[in-house]
């Protein structure tokens, strides 16, 4: 394995690492120093993925309480899961739901700034789930 190298792009605040795939290939070829290097501090090639969270809330006595919830990698799957969960709630409980998109970035601590509410959902009188776009 190569020794860590201070990054020049961020004035030495970060350390460069050799990516695992690059390291393995470089070692096989005997060219460890030519493997791709990524700094853990710089923005550089930012790896980002997004997930869709769905949540059902039950309104009881004027307060909203969290009910079933989950996470999927597809927006359509999240909408299907929310629709099924809202239809399973009993008729005497006022229920509503929402779908949030959360961005996950490698090396960063998650907070609510990385989250955006996309849809609010409610059951109508006929038992159908109605989605209202709120963001995105």
The C-alpha angle with vertex 61 and arms to 58 and 64, in degrees rounded to 5, equals 35
Mean pLDDT on 6-11: 65
Collect all residues with Cβ–Cβ distance below 8 Å to 61 and sequence separation of at least 6.
none
Collect all residues with Cβ–Cβ distance below 8 Å to 39 and sequence separation of at least 6.
7, 9, 10, 14, 15, 16, 17
**Residue with more model confidence, 93 or 122:** 122
pLDDT of residue 135: 74
Mean pLDDT on 7-12: 64
pTM for this predicted structure? 0.61
CA distance readout (Å), 99 to 26, 54, 77, 82? 44, 5, 11, 8
pLDDT of residue 35: 47
User: How sure is the predictor about 90, in pLDDT bands with cuts at 50, 70 and 90?
Assistant: confident
Q: CA torsion 30→35→41→42, rounded to 10°?
A: 160
Q: What is the pLDDT of residues 91-117, one digit of tens each?
A: 888 899 999 998 876 666 666 667 899
Q: What is the pLDDT of residues 43-88, one digit of tens each?
A: 554 456 788 999 999 988 888 999 999 999 899 999 999 999 999 9
């Amino acid at each position: 394995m190569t020794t860590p190298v201070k990054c020049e792009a961020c004035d030495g605040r970060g350390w460069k690492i050799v990516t695992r795939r690059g390291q393995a290939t470089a070692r096989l070829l005997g060219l460890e120093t030519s493997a791709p290097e990524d700094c853990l501090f710089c923005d550089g090639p930012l790896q980002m993925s997004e997930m869709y969270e769905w949540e059902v809330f039950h309104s009881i006595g004027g307060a909203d309480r969290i009910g079933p919830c989950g996470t999927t990698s597809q927006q359509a799957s999240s909408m299907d899961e929310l629709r099924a969960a809202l239809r399973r709630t009993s008729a005497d409980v006022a229920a509503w739901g929402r779908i949030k998109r959360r961005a996950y970035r490698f090396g960063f601590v998650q907070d609510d700034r990385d989250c955006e509410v996309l849809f609010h959902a409610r059951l109508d009188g006929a038992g159908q789930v109605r989605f209202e776009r709120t963001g995105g």
